[in-house]
Amino acid sequence: MITLYKNIEYKLELVVLDDAGKFTPGLSITYEIRKCSDDSLFASGTMSETSSVYYVDVTFTVNAEYKIKYVTPTGYEDGFEDILVEDYNNYKADVSALALETTVAKDSTVAKDATVAKDVTVAKDATVAKEITLNTKASQSSVNAIKSDTESIITTLSTLVVDIWGYTTRTLTSFDTLVTDIALAVWSYTTRTITAGGITASEIWGYLTRTLTSGTKDAEIDAIKERTENLPNDPASESGALAKETSLTTLAQDATVAKETTLNTKASQASIDAIKTETDKIKFILGLSQENYKLFDIVYSGDLITSTTIKTYPSANDCEHDTNILATYSVIATYDSTGKLLTYKVKKE
């Protein structure tokens, strides 16, 4: 029994040899293909001939076992062949087994044994000495098509992984929380640096050693310096520029005049209040310099922070427990279509 594949065209060939071993042309040979399970007729007809080789093109469309009967003219033995038809996908691409050739010597010795190699059955006829060669094989076009498809699959599989990892412009668009997880991992990586592109709000807040070099806070610091640089080293010194108030109380005790002089020198309340106002600003500046501050209500657009709230505290313990808040600021950032920062605004609430 030979195995063929479903939905592939095969050329069933038959040659008949005379006593001299030569091909015998001009014979009328018919064939009949029946399904073994119910003996139903699948195909039948007269075989064609070319160059003394008899053939018929057959395509099996149903997986099953079939029996082929070749009917030769009088004086020649009929031939039989069993075929198993299965799906091509159940096998590897090796098609060498599709080209099979069986030669049966028709003489008195062979005729005594009706079953011959390759499951070809020959009827017993001891009076005629002929040789029938049954040659069943896939058409060359079918074999070439199978070979081409197999090579294409192998080539595709071998380059598929390389193509995927070599695709430089690929992006992630979903995968549940994967994008968010990656973003958090990136912003918590303290040693990262900016190598190209515009700066983002997230990069500003993550820059631990940044300093203030210009803006309104510099002006406020200069104002504090201007108000305090003329103060004396010792506020209680009489040589200072502060207002002085002297109070003298004289008391008489036991005929001796006792004098008590009280010198009360102090800064005016307005000056003290002014100093406090300016020194309080130092606390705010420390908070904006990332000393005891915390972010709340962070809003993202994709991977970019578009708004958040900053709170500053007088101590690390207050920062940890959100107590004794010094100040609260709202932060708003906008970006262009490429993700570069356009505007960045921080307002005290």
Residue 266 has what pLDDT?
Answer: 61
Confidence of residue 152 (pLDDT cuts 50, 70, 90): confident
The pTM of this model reads 0.30
For Cα atoms 47, 48, 50, give the angle at the middle one, nearest 5 degrees. 140
Residue 257 has what pLDDT?
Answer: 46
Confidence of residue 280 (pLDDT cuts 50, 70, 90): confident
pLDDT at 328 over 50: yes
Q: What percent of the chain has pLDDT over 70?
A: 64
Which residue is associated with the tokens 């990262």?
192
pLDDT at 288 over 90: no
Ordered by start, the domain boundaries in the chain are 2-140
SS (H, E, C) 239-286: CCCCCEEEEEEEEEECCEEEEEEEEEECCCHHHHHHHHHHHHHHHHHH
The token pair that represents 8 in the structure block: 């592939």
Residue 267 has what pLDDT?
Answer: 66
Residue 271 has what pLDDT?
Answer: 83
Per-residue pLDDT tens over the stretch 60-88? 999 999 999 999 998 888 888 999 999 87
The token pair that represents 293 in the structure block: 């501050």
Do the Cβ atoms of 142 and 10 come closer than 8 Å?
Answer: yes
The fold of 2-140 is Immunoglobulin-like (2.60.40)
Do the Cβ atoms of 132 and 16 come closer than 8 Å?
Answer: yes
Q: What percent of the chain has pLDDT over 90?
A: 33
Q: Determine the average pLDDT of the residues in 274-295.
A: 77
Confidence of residue 27 (pLDDT cuts 50, 70, 90): very high
Per-residue pLDDT tens over the stretch 221-269? 788 888 777 776 665 555 544 455 454 444 445 545 444 444 444 667 8
- Which of the pair, 330 or 138, is modelled with greater confidence? 330
In Å, how far are 61, 80, 236, 258, 273 from 264, measured between CA atoms? 119, 136, 9, 19, 19
Mean pLDDT of the chain: 75
Number of H helices, E strands in the chain: 7, 18
Do the Cβ atoms of 198 and 341 come closer than 8 Å?
Answer: yes
- Which of the pair, 204 or 214, is modelled with greater confidence? 204
Residue 249 has what pLDDT?
Answer: 46
First to last CA, the chain: 91
pLDDT at 205 over 70: yes
- Which of the pair, 47 or 109, is modelled with greater confidence? 47
Per-residue pLDDT tens over the stretch 43-66? 999 999 999 999 999 999 999 999
